[in-house]
């Protein structure tokens, strides 16, 4: 799975978006993240693993505590993806370039 | 006494993309104006009017998710092997005349193509944020900038 797909899947779930919203205010322990949600610690951990795999959060282990921190950089991929005209022209330019690559290959 | 009407100012943004195309600038110029070329916006149009002459008009209509999307514009510069420029209006430009400029520069056997799309309204339509992503991105924008 490419990173864009991982990021899109990670932010597609409302609970994971709420977790990211909480973490955007600063790092937190897993128990603190779970507190406002009507979810088991186990369910929160599963969501965190998906966010971690997408590169949207990092985990720092200090003794028995796991501190989770938000990382915003991968969201750039989504930002680019939803920009209509950037997406529009990127797709067209890729096809345009490919058309000439194929044409050059066909030349004897 | 006539009242002066002031239209609200719309914030706009410009977009620039570059690509190296394996062809001469003249071939790239011709290709950009050829609806048979799958990389052009004119390709696969439901309805197409294309007369590549300065001050002539173009029109194409695409259908996306049962939505008819008409586009209109006017050619402003056509210099074979160098530059193509035309205005561009669609539902995403909110009545504004945005401007597409394609500059071509010889780069060995290839051509460096620089595409600039200027004067695009910087709002939900211009950027066409998908519902749901917009709020999320806005919420995290400050944070993303901090991590630069």
Nearest CA in chain A to B32: A96
Homologous superfamily (CATH) for B13-147: START domain (3.30.530.20)
Residues of chain A with pLDDT under 50: 81
Strand order across the A28-29 sheet: A28-29, A65-70, A57-62
Full-model pTM: 0.59
Contacts of A15 (CB under 8 A, 6+ apart): A37, A39, A47
Does A36 contact chain B (CB < 8 Å)?
no
Q: Most A CBs within 10 Å: which of B133, B137, B145, B148, as the mutation test of the A interface?
A: B133
Query: Which residues in chain A have their CB less than 8 angstroms from residue B32's CB?
Result: 96
Say yes or no for a CB contact (<8 Å) between B147 and A71: yes
* pLDDT 10s digits, B90-122: 887 888 899 999 999 998 999 999 998 888 887
Q: What angle do CA B18, B99, B10 make, to 5 degrees?
A: 115
pLDDT at B2: 62
For chain B, give every domain's residue range. 13-147
Say yes or no for a CB contact (<8 Å) between A72 and B147: yes
Query: Which residues in chain A have their CB less than 8 angstroms from residue B128's CB?
Result: 82-85
Residues of chain B with pLDDT under 70: 1-3, 6-8, 64-65, 123-148
What is the ipTM score, two decimals? 0.73
Query: Which residues in chain B have their CB less than 8 angstroms from residue A101's CB?
Result: 22
């Amino acid at each position: 799975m490419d990173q864009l797909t991982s990021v899109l899947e990670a932010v597609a779930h409302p609970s994971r978006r709420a977790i990211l919203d909480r973490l955007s205010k600063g790092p937190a322990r897993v128990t603190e993240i779970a507190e406002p949600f009507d979810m088991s610690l186990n369910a929160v951990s599963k969501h965190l693993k998906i966010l971690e795999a997408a590169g949207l959060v990092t985990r720092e282990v200090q003794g028995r505590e796991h501190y989770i921190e938000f990382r915003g950089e991968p969201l750039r991929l989504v930002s680019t993806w939803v920009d209509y005209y950037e997406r529009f022209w990127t797709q067209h330019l890729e096809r345009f370039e490919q058309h000439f690559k194929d044409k050059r290959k066909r030349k004897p | 006494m006539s009242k002066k009407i002031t239209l609200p100012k719309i914030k706009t943004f410009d977009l620039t993309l570059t690509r190296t195309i394996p062809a001469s600038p003249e071939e790239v110029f011709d290709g950009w104006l050829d609806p048979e070329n799958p990389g052009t916006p004119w390709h696969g149009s439901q309805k197409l009017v294309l007369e590549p002459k300065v001050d002539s008009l173009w029109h194409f209509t695409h259908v996306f998710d049962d939505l008819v999307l008409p586009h209109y514009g006017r050619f402003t510069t056509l210099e074979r092997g160098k530059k193509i420029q035309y205005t561009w209006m669609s539902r995403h430009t909110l009545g504004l005349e945005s401007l597409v400029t394609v500059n071509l520069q010889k780069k060995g056997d290839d051509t460096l193509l620089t595409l600039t799309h200027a004067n695009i309204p910087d709002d939900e339509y211009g950027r066409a944020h998908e519902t749901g992503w917009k709020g999320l991105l806005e919420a995290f924008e400050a944070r993303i900038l901090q991590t630069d």
